[in-house]
Amino acid sequence: MTEAAPAAVLAIDGGNSKTDVALVAADGTIVGVARGGNTNHQGVGRAAMITVLNDLVQAATAQAGPPSDGPVAQHVSACLAGADLADEEAELGELIQAQGWSVTSSVVNDTFAVLRAGLNDAGEPGGVGAQRHWGIGVVCGAGVNCVGVAPDGRTTRFLALGQISGDWGGGGDLGPEALWWAARAEDGRGPETELRAAVPAHFGVERVEDVVLGLYFGKINYDQLHGLVPVLYKVASNGDEVARSVVLRLADEVSTMATVAATRLGLTDGQDTRYPVPVVLGGGLLTARDPLLTGAIHSQLAEAIPGADVRIADVAPIAGAALLGLDHVGAPPAAAARLRKSAAATW
């Protein structure tokens, strides 16, 4: 049996809750995929991260055909949660390159995958040279982060290390916030809110106190509070002022991060108005397209960033990682278009 030729790109989207791996041919065809668990090195450690990734790479390679003894791809494009600092990107890049999966490799924070997923495959108008793909990307899932790439290739980012670096947003903050307001409504310390009934109903109990004690005694996992975000959105859509205030606070945070990133890159003052500034929104809390949240973000960014072109990423972050890889190997826009079409049916 003939051995499979190396793919052009081995794409990795490594997250806190799941990790996707894809092998992509030079024409944009997806030839192998695999999905696994958490590969954030900050939580599981680097050895465990590599173990999970190695299993996923083997699974994806098996789909592509009988593997050779050499690299499975020309280039690894890895977008990893937890690659928050330049030093971490470099160290993780060396670790991944040492696995022998590819000839070359690059590691960036997973927010760059969200940004690339929402950008024009032929390059955004106004891009300079090889740096055609530029804009601001904001991801809001378990946490919140933002990166920016200028038309000339300059980048900016935030530490994004949680509360210690000034962050607020994501399911890790909104879920507990919904519970906080519900608890205060129940015991009389806060205003009345529909969350008082909706939060315990979500967990199948009668009172907010039951949720609190469930968390305290370990019957409810703290991570399950992330599931309160859809509850919060629904209560806010009913006009509940407490819930609306939480959702609008998230809109403020997203808009502020995007505006600061754009300002750092000089995209809010003197930017050529012929070239609107792309602002890509990704992560589960933003791709849910909640009308209140999305509307507030659009309104705020229209004022803060003249000509802002706010978009919600319409393909999974793994597709963004693959697109970055195709950019690296010089694939044409037609390959990116084929990848997007396949990605929509795959993830």
pLDDT of residue 270: 65
Whether the CB-CB separation of 144 and 138 falls below 8 Å is answered with yes
Q: Which ranges of 120-275 does DSSP label H, i.e. alpha helix? A: 171-187, 195-202, 208-216, 228-237, 241-264
Average pLDDT, the chain: 94
All structural domains of the chain with their residue ranges: 7-118+315-346, 122-313
Structure tokens at 236: 């806010």
**Is the alpha carbon torsion for 266, 256, 297, 285 positive or negative?**
positive
Q: Is 3's pLDDT higher than 50?
A: yes
Q: What is the pLDDT of residues 235-245, one digit of tens each?
A: 999 999 999 99
CA-based nearest residue to 293, from 306, 308, 278, 281: 281
Domains 7-118+315-346 and 122-313 share a fold: yes
Least reliable range by pLDDT among 66-75, 296-305, 327-336? 66-75
Query: If you compute the radius of gyration of the chain from its CA atoms, what whole number of angstroms results?
Result: 21
Confidence label for 302 from pLDDT (cuts 50, 70 and 90): very high
Per-residue confidence band for 67, with pLDDT thresholds at 50, 70 and 90: low
Asked if the 122-313 domain carries CATH number 2.30.33.40, the reply is no
Q: How far apart are CA 47 and CA 32, in angstroms?
A: 24
What is the pTM assigned to this prediction?
Answer: 0.92
CATH of 7-118+315-346 given 3.40.50.410, 3.30.70.20, 3.30.420.40, 3.30.390.30 = 3.30.420.40
**Separation between Cα atoms, residue 231 and residue 252, nearest integer Å:** 20
∠ CA(149), CA(267), CA(273), 5° rounding? 120
Q: Which of 169, 172, 232 is nearest to 16 (CA)?
A: 172
